Amino acid sequence: MLSIRLNRLAMIVAAATLLAPSGPVAAQTPDHPTETAQFPSAKDLRTMTTSGSYLAARHASVERDAMSAATFYRSALRTDPKNNELLDRAFISSLAEGDIAIAVKLADRILAIDKSNRVARLVVGVHNLKLKKYAVAQKNIKQSIRGPITDLVATLLAGWADYGADDTKQAVANIDALTGPEWYPIFKDLHSGMLLDLAGRNKEAGARLERAYKLDDSALRVADAYARWLSRNKDGAAALAVYEAFDKKLARHPLIQEGIKEIKAGKKLPQLVSSPQTGAAEALYGIGASLTRRGGEDLALVYLQLALYLSPDHSMALLSLADLYESVKKPEMAIGVYQRVPVDSPLKRNAQIQLATNLDAVDRSDEAIKILRGVTEQDSSDLEAIMALGNVERGRKKFADCAKTYGKGIDVIAETKGKPNWVYYYFRGICEERSKNWGKAEADMKKALEIQPEQPHVLNYLGYSWIDRGLNLDEAMKMIKHAVDQRPDDGYIVDSLGWAYYRIGNYDEAVKTLERAINLKPEDPTVNDHLGDAYWRVGRTLEARFQWAHARDLKPEAEELPKIEAKIEKGLPADETPSAASADKKKDDGKGG
């Protein structure tokens, strides 16, 4: 991805200007919302009123479900075909959904009414380019210009259309003539270089790619394109130097690792793009990915969908699109995109790990675990996959499994003589503690603190555990206070301090501290339960029952629910000592009491 300092305001203004006629573009999901019992059939859609379809489409847009929005807008359009607003919304939603074939048909209808619609021009132009109709592609793309982002996109796409029409000279001249913000040159040099490279003008291509590389040697696509050119036109050593320099900045990127392996095998690497279509896709991807990272999700979605229309197997575009869906909290759609990454892509392993994470997010954890175990079986030293597997197992309370998994990560680090990582010991300690292996858990927590002495989450977890067991009370209290000093706004850690006060019998201080925690984490059942206990001990019994009732309604862990219900009914026993008040309460995986 290009690490280019794009002007945020310019991007947002451009995105808003491009899409303003139809409101925000919504991200799609592959399945319709789970709260909907059954999505209407084609027959049902035909019988819906225009207003019914319109309202359903608007609701889907609010939910960022472009698939449903497009379906309902098209349904409404069928019953009111002359409604230009419906036409425009159906077009934008279809484009966001990635159904470019339908978007093209709707774009043609829009242009028959409004020849100046720039989004429609862009879509039709990209369609022309895909069909190798380069002259008409140039005409439509050039009419899509408006603003710094769209100017650059249109110029690069038109350049690739010029190249497709066998006019490399004009393509480069038009790209060179474009002036604009300080982040233009790297895109211009990269695409001019790739274009000249395909045209066989090797020396000129190298000069352009070298210039782009000097502008930003940390830009992945620039480094990759330049190294590929060097492997064919200079020597493998020069190409290897570029890859290894990048690896020092961003270690172990799969595409860079693949390049290093191929160069060491004595291979000359092909161009990054192979046709006008893949060149245009690279332009759309590069700018779309940059927008995704800088808050321009709506416009990025359009560019990434168009990039994949031109080059369906573009792995980097697929990962960027999936990442976009993750950013708008649509894991179902991200799952579908990750599944599209080609099996032979160097990025397939990354896609599998992210696929598993999203499967877990939609409660398909068994599938996630199966995928991650498969990845770790292929490479037992893959620390990223090991960590992901351990996290899924821990989140699903498979504590014996996650203790073993994090242990494998610790073993890999030791075998490779890497620097010890406190996180593995901390997480394994949590899993051991939850498996009732306190001795092992305590040893891991101490090891984590040995590696990272000031780490607040470890201080909190170990200190809380000691107090919960009546051990090392003074040291434990100091540890938790130190954790709170570092993370005063972390409700879980503040809750730990409040519960520590409770366990040593300082109920007044417990109430004050737990009230702070409840302001920070009002939705957490354990924090509410703790505050209820503290209220009861200071005689505020009505408030105690209110907090317990709230804790009950917030879906506590299954083993805690009957205890909470008993307290609502009977309160706390008068003779209960602090050390016995809640000996079985569990921390939220190290986040607090």
- The model's pLDDT over 278-334, given as tens digits with 9 standing for 90+, comes to 999 999 999 999 988 776 788 899 999 999 999 999 999 999 999 999 998 999 999
C-beta contacts of 96-99 below 8 A and 24+ residues apart: 96/25, 96/26, 96/27, 96/28, 96/66, 96/69, 96/70, 96/301, 96/302, 96/305, 97/28, 97/66, 97/67, 97/69, 97/70, 97/305, 98/28, 98/305, 98/308, 98/309, 99/70
Give the pLDDT of residue 15. 34
Give the pLDDT of residue 44. 57
- The phi, psi pair for 434, rounded to 5°, reads -70, -20
pLDDT reading at 397 higher than 50: yes
pLDDT reading at 102 higher than 90: yes
Task: Give the model confidence (pLDDT) of 242-268 as tens digits.
Answer: 999 999 999 999 999 999 999 999 999
Is residue 445 a contact partner of residue 426, using CB atoms and an 8 Å limit? yes
Q: And the tokens for 95?
A: 């484009």
**Lowest mean pLDDT: which of 60-69, 379-388, 398-407?**
60-69
Does the CA dihedral 272-383-330-519 come out positive or negative? negative
Is residue 307 a contact partner of residue 130, using CB atoms and an 8 Å limit? no
Average pLDDT over residues 446-471: 95
pLDDT band at 39 (very low <50, low <70, confident <90, very high): low
Report CA dihedral (104, 108, 109, 111) to the nearest 10 degrees. Answer: 130
DSSP class of 472: S
The helix/strand/coil state of 199 is coil
Of residues 400, 343, 334, 318, the one with CA closest to residue 368: 334
Is residue 26 a contact partner of residue 60, using CB atoms and an 8 Å limit? yes
**Lowest mean pLDDT: which of 20-24, 210-214, 386-390?**
20-24
Helix/strand number for the chain, H first, E second: 32, 0
pLDDT reading at 586 higher than 70: no
pLDDT band at 3 (very low <50, low <70, confident <90, very high): very low
Give the pLDDT of residue 9. 27
| Whole-number percent of the chain with pLDDT over 90 | 77
pTM for this model (two decimals)? 0.85
Q: And the tokens for 329?
A: 């909290």
Q: Which is higher by pLDDT, 210 or 587?
A: 210
Give the pLDDT of residue 576. 54
pLDDT band at 18 (very low <50, low <70, confident <90, very high): very low
Give the pLDDT of residue 145. 79
| Whole-number percent of the chain with pLDDT over 70 | 89
Give the separation between CA 182 and CA 571, rounded to whole angstroms. 67
Give the pLDDT of residue 516. 97
Give the separation between CA 463 and CA 398, rounded to whole angstroms. 24
Which range has highest mean pLDDT (31-35, 63-67, 116-120, 123-127)?
123-127
Give the separation between CA 425 and CA 443, rounded to whole angstroms. 9
Q: Is 485 exposed, middle or buried (0-12, 13-18, 19+ CB in 10 A)?
A: exposed
Round to the nearest angstrom and report the end-to-end CA distance of the chain.
Answer: 41
Of residues 336, 338, 340, 362, the one with CA closest to residue 350: 338
pLDDT reading at 70 higher than 90: no
Give the pLDDT of residue 581. 42
Give the pLDDT of residue 529. 97
Average pLDDT over residues 339-365: 97
Q: And the tokens for 233?
A: 């036109």
DSSP class of 65: -
pLDDT band at 40 (very low <50, low <70, confident <90, very high): low
**Lowest mean pLDDT: which of 51-60, 144-153, 234-243, 378-387?**
51-60
- The phi, psi pair for 64, rounded to 5°, reads 60, 40
Residue type, 499: W
DSSP class of 275: S
Contacts of 363 (CB under 8 A, 6+ apart): none
pLDDT band at 148 (very low <50, low <70, confident <90, very high): confident
Task: Give the model confidence (pLDDT) of 509-521 as tens digits.
Answer: 999 999 999 999 9
- The phi, psi pair for 146, rounded to 5°, reads -175, 110
Is residue 296 a contact partner of residue 260, using CB atoms and an 8 Å limit? no
Average pLDDT over residues 71-86: 90
Of residues 543, 549, 541, 525, the one with CA closest to residue 574: 541
> 49's torsion region: left (phi>0), alpha (psi -120 to 50) or beta?
beta
Q: Is 107 exposed, middle or buried (0-12, 13-18, 19+ CB in 10 A)?
A: buried
The helix/strand/coil state of 166 is coil
pLDDT band at 340 (very low <50, low <70, confident <90, very high): very high
pLDDT band at 42 (very low <50, low <70, confident <90, very high): low
Give the separation between CA 418 and CA 410, rounded to whole angstroms. 10
Average pLDDT over residues 327-343: 94
Q: And the tokens for 304?
A: 């990434």
pLDDT reading at 36 higher than 60: no
Give the pLDDT of residue 47. 62
Per-chain mean pLDDT for the chain: 89
Average pLDDT over residues 521-536: 97
pLDDT reading at 16 higher than 80: no
Q: Which is higher by pLDDT, 57 or 566?
A: 566
Of residues 384, 402, 406, 382, the one with CA closest to residue 392: 402
Average pLDDT over residues 231-243: 96
Q: Could you identify the residue written with the tokens 């921390």?
A: 587
Q: And the tokens for 582?
A: 């809640």
Q: And the tokens for 460?
A: 């909190």
Give the pLDDT of residue 67. 83
Q: Which is higher by pLDDT, 10 or 100?
A: 100
